[in-house]
Amino acid sequence: MAQGLIEVERKFVPGPGTEERLRELGGTLEHRVTFRDTYYDTPELSLMQADHWLRRREDSGWELKCPGAAGVLGHHTEYKELTAEPTIVAQLCKVLGADGLGAGDVAAVLGPLGLQEVASFVTKRSAWKLVLLGTDEEEPQLRVDLDTADFGYAVGEVEALVHEEAEVPTALEKIHRLSSMLGVPAQETAPAKLMVYLQHFRPQDYQRLLEVNSSKQRPQGTKDPDNCLG
């Protein structure tokens, strides 16, 4: 993934006919893959409380998701994805208020920043791509990932990647259209795998995130922890 792309996504609950519907809409199955994600944070969950999500995916390296300009808007989320390790380290130091660690490898700063493993699970994914009818064939395709985690939770995600904030409204419109075509109810929300993991296995941390979010009393359109990534 190119550095600095903006990810706009919506999560939904997949059904037994979701893959067949994707085929009917002209979707192409790219691959089926199994991978392990491990998330890192401080004992106080300082990153998650700041809506930053540090993950290492097996055989894929590090990624830090940071809130985009809109954050969570309705049932959709917008994040910037950082994958270059020096950029990740710089952002981690900024969020955690640490200076003087340089811009080296992420693994080298875990200890100094007090970051530790807070979640780790295996996901089986089927990854799809498609272009909606009536849109420019040269436009980036929408992605649909259908995931099942090893703790029994299944979730789908419709995703578009854009380069500029100005492209986000068009991406949202496409996500709305495809979600409707897949039979996703307009008001349906589906929590991210990470949040379900925390709810099941680290309920005190999960509750802490809910309490921090509610205590901020932010305006409509700000983040809902259940609708964050995973």
- If you average pLDDT over residues 91-116, what whole number do you get? 89
Alpha carbon distance 81, 4 (integer Å): 6
User: pLDDT value at position 143?
Assistant: 96
* 145 annotated ligand binder: yes
The kind and range of the H/E element at 30 are strand 28-41
Average pLDDT, the chain: 86
* 55 annotated ligand binder: yes
Q: Which residues contact 98 (CB under 8 A, 6 or more apart)?
A: 92, 112, 113
Per-residue confidence band for 131, with pLDDT thresholds at 50, 70 and 90: confident
pTM comes to 0.85
Token representation of residue 77: 């989320």
* 224 annotated ligand binder: no
Per-residue confidence band for 217, with pLDDT thresholds at 50, 70 and 90: very low
* 174 annotated ligand binder: no
* 19 annotated ligand binder: no
* 78 annotated ligand binder: no
Residue 215 has pLDDT above 80, yes or no: no
Contact call for residues 8 and 175 (beta carbons, < 8 A) = yes
The domains found in the chain, sorted by start residue, are 6-212 (2.40.320.10)
The kind and range of the H/E element at 3 are none
Look up residue 98 and give its amino acid. A
* 11 annotated ligand binder: yes
Axis crossing angle, helix 193-201 with helix 203-216, rounded to the nearest 10: 120
Segment among 136-145, 166-175, 221-230 with least mean pLDDT: 221-230
pLDDT digits (tens, 9 = 90+) for 165-205: 888 888 989 999 999 999 999 888 899 999 999 999 999 99
* 57 annotated ligand binder: yes
Per-residue confidence band for 136, with pLDDT thresholds at 50, 70 and 90: low
